[in-house]
Amino acid sequence: MLKFFIVFIILTLFITVLKLKFFSNTTHQTQKRIFYPTKETNQSIEENRSTFDEIPSSLDESLISENEIQLLMNQANQLWNNDTYKAIDIYNEIIAKLRNSDDPKLLKIFSQAQFSKAHLLSNYLQNNEEAIEVYNEVIEQFENSSNPELLKIFASAQFTKAYFFDSEEAVEIYNEIIDKFKDSSDVDLLKQFTDAQFFKATLLENNLNNKEGAIAVYDEIIDKFKDKPNNAFSNQLANAMSAKSYLMIDDNGEEAMQIYNDVIDKFKDSKDTMISADVSDAIINNIELALINNVDDFDYRNLAQDYLADNKNTQPLLEMLDILKNAQNSNQDTALENWKNEHKEYQFSNWSFSQLETWANQTTDEATKNRLNTYINEFRNHNNSVPVPYLQNYHYHSIKK
């Protein structure tokens, strides 16, 4: 079963720390595909440090010199590795100068200085508590703003703050973002809403052992976006449907298949790469579910021929399922050896064998059961494949475990 290895939506690596789109001038499974915050994101903020130099040219407040702010930002940026405390002092000076501004451009610079300060506190001085206080200051500064750009900064501070807390507290932070933006008509703010929903669902399922709660979150996303015309959130909708289906496989295989059917029917003609990946996953997973549940897979095989024939990543999976299907009735040693030779470099990097193992062990004929288990183990061990744990350890707890 293709794991719903959520690596999608956020997929510019701008979630949490890099969710700060204002840090640059650029604007959430082999399979989907949400980048959850990992400690590697801290490196990326340093790589984007140079963009802090690009201060807007319209700093027209009477008591603030554009050249002064520019100089201070440059000085602080250059001190990150050499004198962290001095860099923080300079950021504090910038923060003090801009804190009471009502100019959105200046407030963006204010937030840049705050995020840089928090990053240094956490990653250079290992002072997470003070870093959290900095994020709290940003949150309080912008939570009641009516400006969408400043509200995105509020959301970014919340996402980054959640990174430091345990799962239950992180879920509460995500709930604050969800409640803040669930009724927004602004597309960018609704994306903050969906990002928070996906983070919340991931923690509920993987860290808090609450699969039902995760499914309910996916249902909220589905209900919100399923009927919208010209849907700007088709990616999120397909992602939520696929995630829900994956979580239902063990408890309700028939409904899981139906949801995958809905994904296929709704999105099979999409040109979006991420959505096409969801469709591919749905087709393959339904072929496997058809095998497990003894359902005719003719329609899914035809879909695979139409949509996956040129996909080199899916062909080994389809052929494996063929071998296991035929192994119910006859020896497939030759087919297995041919598969191994043809796909020597292939690895099952995001495939779960648990459903196939359960199916094989429910076989009443001992010879067939042993044959199926032998082949499943051969596939599992092929080329030292190590399946990626399904969304494990994507939320790091720096304090309050």
> What pLDDT is recorded for position 68?
84
- Distance from C-alpha of 234 to C-alpha of 256, rounded to nearest angstrom: 19
> What pLDDT is recorded for position 54?
46
| Helices 66-78 and 84-98, packing angle to 10 deg | 160
Query: Can you tell me whether residue 349 is helix, strand or coil?
Result: coil
Residue 260 sits at the vertex; the CA angle it makes with 258 and 264, to the nearest 5 degrees, is 115
Answer whether residue 207 is part of any domain.
no
141-145-150-154 Cα dihedral, nearest 10 degrees: 60
H helix runs in 203-345, sequence order: 211-225, 234-248, 253-267, 273-292, 298-307, 315-327, 333-342
Quote the domain boundaries for residue 91: 7-164
Q: Which among 2, 8, 4, 5 is positioned nearest to 34, based on CA atoms?
A: 8
> What pLDDT is recorded for position 349?
82
Answer whether residue 392 is part of any domain.
yes
Give the residue from 107, 131, 164 where a domain finishes. Answer: 164
Quick one: tokens of 154?
A: 């509020």
H helix runs in 38-166, sequence order: 41-47, 66-78, 84-98, 104-123, 128-142, 148-162
CA end-to-end distance (rounded Å), the chain = 32
Q: Total domain count for the chain?
A: 2
Answer whether residue 260 is part of any domain.
no
Answer whether residue 142 is part of any domain.
yes
Query: Can you tell me whether residue 330 is helix, strand or coil?
Result: coil
Cβ–Cβ under 8 Å, residues 80 and 49: yes
Answer whether residue 119 is part of any domain.
yes
- Distance from C-alpha of 289 to C-alpha of 89, rounded to nearest angstrom: 60
389-276-316-256 Cα dihedral, nearest 10 degrees: 60
Cβ atoms within 10 Å of 276's Cβ, excluding its own: 18
- Is the Cα dihedral 276, 277, 282, 285 positive or negative? positive
Per-residue exposure over 319-342, b if at least 16 CB sit within 10 Å of its own CB, e if not: bbbbbbeebbeeebeebbeebeee
Give the residue from 115, 147, 164 where a domain finishes. Answer: 164
- Bridge partner residues of 172 (DSSP): none
> What pLDDT is recorded for position 81?
86
Answer whether residue 255 is part of any domain.
no
- Is the Cα dihedral 364, 366, 372, 378 positive or negative? positive
Could you report the average pLDDT of every consecutive run of 10 residues in the chain (401 residues)? 51 38 32 36 47 44 65 91 94 95 92 97 96 98 97 98 97 98 96 98 97 98 89 94 95 95 96 94 97 96 94 94 98 98 92 95 98 97 63 32 28
Quick one: tokens of 68?
A: 């002064």
Answer whether residue 266 is part of any domain.
no
Exposed, middle or buried, 391 (CB in 10 Å: 0-12/13-18/19+)? Answer: buried
Answer whether residue 60 is part of any domain.
yes
Exposed, middle or buried, 39 (CB in 10 Å: 0-12/13-18/19+)? Answer: exposed
Helix (H) or strand (E) holding 175: helix 167-181
> What pLDDT is recorded for position 172?
98
> What pLDDT is recorded for position 65?
66
Give the residue from 103, 131, 164 where a domain finishes. Answer: 164
